[in-house]
Amino acid sequence: MISRRNIRVKVMQTLYAMDTMEQGTVKPGTATSLLNEKLDQTSQIFTYLLFSVARIAQYAETDAQVRASKHLPSAEDLAVNTKIAGNDFVFQVLGDKGFQVNLDSWKLRRLEDQELIRKLYNQLVESDIYKAYIAEPGRDKAKEKQIIEYIYKEILEKSEAFRQHMEDSFIHWGDDEEMMTILVGNFFSKPQLFNFLQLISREKLEYAKELLLTVLDKKEYTLELIKPKLQNWDPERIAAVDMLLMEMGVCEFLYFPTIPTKVTINEYIDLAKAYSTPQSGQFVNGILDNILKDLVQENLIQKTDRNKK
């Protein structure tokens, strides 16, 4: 469910954090502990996004209660439609035990901005799709899904206030934002396939930890391969992120037999463009390509077809 690209970003961030730490503060297990924290935040963000969708839907009941409790409620105040609060997808999310465990263990409820939820709910109420939804009697499964998807795609994703709320609440929100659109969409399509307590598969979790520990363990060797290719470049003036991405790329060449070299190069070019300087993509591409040619010539690249294992 969580992409390898996102895993690579978390490993890169962990390596960067390790590089900035004083040596005396680094203890055995520090690296994997930092990585786990970053991977956990991805699961936290996913859980909180679905929680926010549910809370907007549930606000219909709060709205009905507030308006009915007015000193002189109007007929409109007494006729607030609360259909969406009982939406099938809302019940499925809130009734999931793993979802509730995540909310409690990470204390995500305390992040809720009730005033923001109220404003987003009011925005939803004004939409034509919402008016059509509450106008229909009964519950059509397709319409139940459609209105919840609308809340996420058209209300949450397009709200600058909510995006700022996410940025304030989760330090690496920007790294996960794009992937969350895919992840949440997948959930709405097949919610029964999601395990909130294991949003990262064991395979990808093992890949993340193995990549992190391999880069740390093989750092001296990978630098021996990288530095001669820098030619007129001063290694001390090269962006730290570029160096980390090249170290990760070289480790994937040598120690991850199921990942094709072309995939590795393309992935690290994209990451360099996204997280480093405007020239970094071309720079990382050139260095990794040159190293790969040498490794192939020395018969040091051993790749296997994952599908044939």
What is the reported pLDDT for 270? 95
Are the CB atoms for 162 and 116 separated by under 8 Å? yes
Confidence band of 304 (pLDDT split at 50, 70, 90): confident
Which of 50-59, 217-226, 260-269, 276-285 bottoms out in mean pLDDT, i.e. has the lowest? 276-285
Q: CA nearest 60: which of 118, 9, 114?
A: 118
Sign of CA dihedral 274, 279, 282, 283: negative
**What is the residue-averaged pLDDT of the chain?**
92
Provide the phi-psi class of 183: left if phi over 0, else alpha when psi is between -120 and 50, else beta. Answer: alpha
What is the reported pLDDT for 232? 73
Provide the phi-psi class of 3: left if phi over 0, else alpha when psi is between -120 and 50, else beta. Answer: beta
Q: pLDDT tens digit string along 79-113?
A: 889 999 999 999 999 999 999 999 999 999 999 99
Degrees to nearest 5, angle at CA 50 with 44 and 56: 130
Q: pLDDT tens digit string along 133-155?
A: 999 988 999 999 999 999 999 99
Confidence band of 24 (pLDDT split at 50, 70, 90): confident
Confidence band of 234 (pLDDT split at 50, 70, 90): low
